[in-house]
Structure 1
Amino acid sequence: MISLAQQNVRLPSLATIRAFESAARLGSFGRAAEELFLTASAVGKRITQLETLLGQALFDRGSRGVALTAAGHEYLEQIETALHLLTDVSLHHRSKRPRESIRLVTTPSFGHYVLGPHLLEFTQDHPNLDMSVVMSIPYLDIGPSQADFWIRFGLGRYPGAVSELLTDDQVFPACSPDYLRRHGPLRTPADLHYAHLLHSPLDPWKPWFDAAGLDWSEPEEGTSFFDLGMAMAAACAGHGVMIMRRSLASACLNDGRLVAPFAITAAPDSHYYLCHDASMPLTGVRLSFSLWLKDLCRRIPPVSLGV
């Protein structure tokens, strides 16, 4: 029997053929991407690789979508026969991959401002994953005890748990542009004497007062919050000036909902940690989630301070 190498046959990868067949059948790179759990750009790249190998354009790409060329129609008829033969091979008929699960307990603020906006990034790469996200109350240490992971806010010392630092924040004052217009200017830290200071036991003002050279005690009057996300929402609405941290406030600062009047920062005592039971080593999808979440926190964008 003459080998494929001896016949000088150029065989495309099965991944490129599947991308082509799906896009041709559905009439759209986007719909093919949904079927194959890929991005539309990934489907497009695979089809381009196939066209380069064949030396033929298989699709006409226009402003209204894609359509098969004559060569594309001919190629589709040929590969459909081959795909049906491959599908009929008995060894290819395996049971469905078992579904995996992750139960995560997180603080409300981290879940809302860090995890929630990006979780699709992870779940799309793990289509057999059932993800359960439950909220806890960090100040009162209230939350479900049974979980694969806990995102905790504190000092990182939790008996029986492995704790990995997620955020290494600095804290700084911030307020809405509207509040700054109505109650500013805030040119020096001492100008905060006339501002409405929102406060929280989770992120106290005192470390920042010390860094700014202000011999002030922790505010006691005014509005106090036991949830950092709620405090940030109040600051965005123009309620006052609040101590912020980059991990939570970067989106609000970068889109202009908040401004930071001073470039001075301080190191807080508490940070966010990813925790899991020390007796349960991370493997499989749980290890993947741990690596993904740590990378996500490293990618939190920088912010501009001192406006």
Structure 2
Amino acid sequence: MLPLRAIAVFHAAARAGSLTRAAQELGVTPSAVSQQVSALEVQLGTALLTRQGRRIALTEAGQRYLEMIAPHVERIAEATRYVRGSLSSGSLILRATPSFATKWLLPRLPAFLDAHPEIELRVDATNEPTDFAREGVDLEVRHGEGDWPGLVVEPVAEEVFLPVCAPALAAPGSLRAEELGAHRLIHSVKSQVKWAAWFAAAGTPMPAARRVLFDRSHMAVDAAIAGMGIALESTLMMGDAMADGRLACPVAAPPAIRRTTQWLVCPADRMRRHRVRAFADWLRAEALAWREQSLEKLKQPAENLVCS
């Protein structure tokens, strides 16, 4: 008989690199894990693990065996989650970047939930790209350039990158580009548009200004709202704060750098699921409405420049 239990325990131990951690994941004792692995080694006639204090290491045979069984064990785990309901017809698992999830998606989600009360939505906010072959994620809003072969990839919306700050720090349209260096500049280190590119577009050298750096756009936006300095951010991330007056563009006639940085991503077969199509259709409609409102706002003079 195929020792499925022992194979699953070996897989967990090899992935965890520790009998104790594997035991915690499986809800058993380290002794039980050790016994299952030993039983599997007897059946195979070779050692799979070596013990190094509290840690374990794979033997050469163990490494080869893990490589062969891992895809199948993970498929069985995914199938089990499906049957238990984590991938049931009523649930939708969405992965999105923290900034997009916080600043753009979350304020709009009530409309989707009200329109689809039959769908149970789970949002995982992370910048880690989804491995759709191994994870139970239905679809993802991913940050990047949009070049992910083998997946359905749709742009969410074209964004405009503008300098913004709290109106109390600098009045809307009150500064020239070369005057920004008198203020602290807020940098989003993972942004696809940096201050150097914006100053180049404005035709003025990058100033040696005071600066503060954040690795998440939502943190840079919140820092600007708090009056910490002037941020260069995307209208997709900060549009609501501009619409309600918490942020404004302090530069008269600013160069507007346009990019698409957020993409709807999933395997083609996911789009055959009703709940995925429902969310994708809703997201497209919301993004279109946001784009139309943003274009209308961007036609206004700099002193009234807001983007909803």
TM bracket, shorter-chain basis: 0.5 to 0.7
Structure 2 residue aligned with 1:154, among 141, 144, 156?
144
Q: Which of the two has greater helix per residue?
A: 2
| Preserved CA contact (<8 Å) 2:159 2:259 | no
What do the CA deviations read for 1:41-65 (whole angstroms, capped 9, x no partner)? xxxxxxxxxxxxxxxxxxxxxxxxx
TM-score normalised by the chain length of structure 2: 0.60
Structure 2 unaligned blocks of 5 or more: 1-87, 304-308
Equivalence map 1:187-202=2 (5 Å): 187-202=175-190
**How many positions carry a matched residue from both structures?**
204
Equivalent in the alignment of 1:306: 302
| Preserved CA contact (<8 Å) 1:200 1:228 | yes
Q: 1-side partners of 2:137 and 2:262: how far apart?
A: 17
Question: How many Å apart are 1:216 and its aligned residue?
Answer: 2.2
Deviates more, 1:200-209 or 1:221-230: 200-209
Question: How many Å apart are 1:189 and its aligned residue?
Answer: 0.4
Residues 240 and 226 from structure 1, CA distance in 2 versus in 1: closer, same or farther, beyond 3 angstroms? same
RMSD: 2.4
Structure 2 residue aligned with 1:244, among 233, 236, 242?
233
Equivalent in the alignment of 1:44: none
Letter paired with 1:260: C
Letter paired with 1:293: L
Residues 196 and 241 from structure 1, CA distance in 2 versus in 1: closer, same or farther, beyond 3 angstroms? same
Question: How many Å apart are 1:242 and its aligned residue?
Answer: 0.2
Equivalence map 1:32-181=2 (5 Å): 100-137=90-127, 141=128, 145-180=135-170
TM-score normalised by the chain length of structure 1: 0.61
Equivalent in the alignment of 2:214: 225
Structure 1 unaligned blocks of 5 or more: 1-97
Q: Which has the larger radius of gyration?
A: 1
Question: How many Å apart are 1:228 and its aligned residue?
Answer: 0.3
Letter paired with 1:222: R
Residues 305 and 100 from structure 1, CA distance in 2 versus in 1: closer, same or farther, beyond 3 angstroms? farther
What do the CA deviations read for 1:73-118 (whole angstroms, capped 9, x no partner)? xxxxxxxxxxxxxxxxxxxxxxxxx851110001111111211111
Residues 277 and 194 from structure 1, CA distance in 2 versus in 1: closer, same or farther, beyond 3 angstroms? same
Structure 2 residue aligned with 1:208, among 176, 179, 198?
198
| Preserved CA contact (<8 Å) 1:211 1:264 | no
Residue aligned with 1:110, SS? helix
Equivalence map 1:256-295=2 (5 Å): 256-262=245-251, 263-268=253-258, 271-295=261-285
Residues 305 and 248 from structure 1, CA distance in 2 versus in 1: closer, same or farther, beyond 3 angstroms? farther
Residue aligned with 1:280, SS? helix
Residue aligned with 2:106, SS? helix
Residues 142 and 275 from structure 1, CA distance in 2 versus in 1: closer, same or farther, beyond 3 angstroms? closer
| Preserved CA contact (<8 Å) 2:184 2:209 | no
Residues 284 and 241 from structure 1, CA distance in 2 versus in 1: closer, same or farther, beyond 3 angstroms? same
Residues 305 and 207 from structure 1, CA distance in 2 versus in 1: closer, same or farther, beyond 3 angstroms? farther
| Preserved CA contact (<8 Å) 1:235 1:241 | yes
Question: Which aligned segments of 4 or more residues in structure 1 are displaced greater than 3 angstroms?
Answer: 141-146, 278-283
Q: 2-side partners of 1:216 and 1:165: how far apart?
A: 31
| Preserved CA contact (<8 Å) 1:170 1:265 | no
| Preserved CA contact (<8 Å) 1:198 1:240 | yes
Residues 220 and 143 from structure 1, CA distance in 2 versus in 1: closer, same or farther, beyond 3 angstroms? farther
Residues 158 and 305 from structure 1, CA distance in 2 versus in 1: closer, same or farther, beyond 3 angstroms? farther
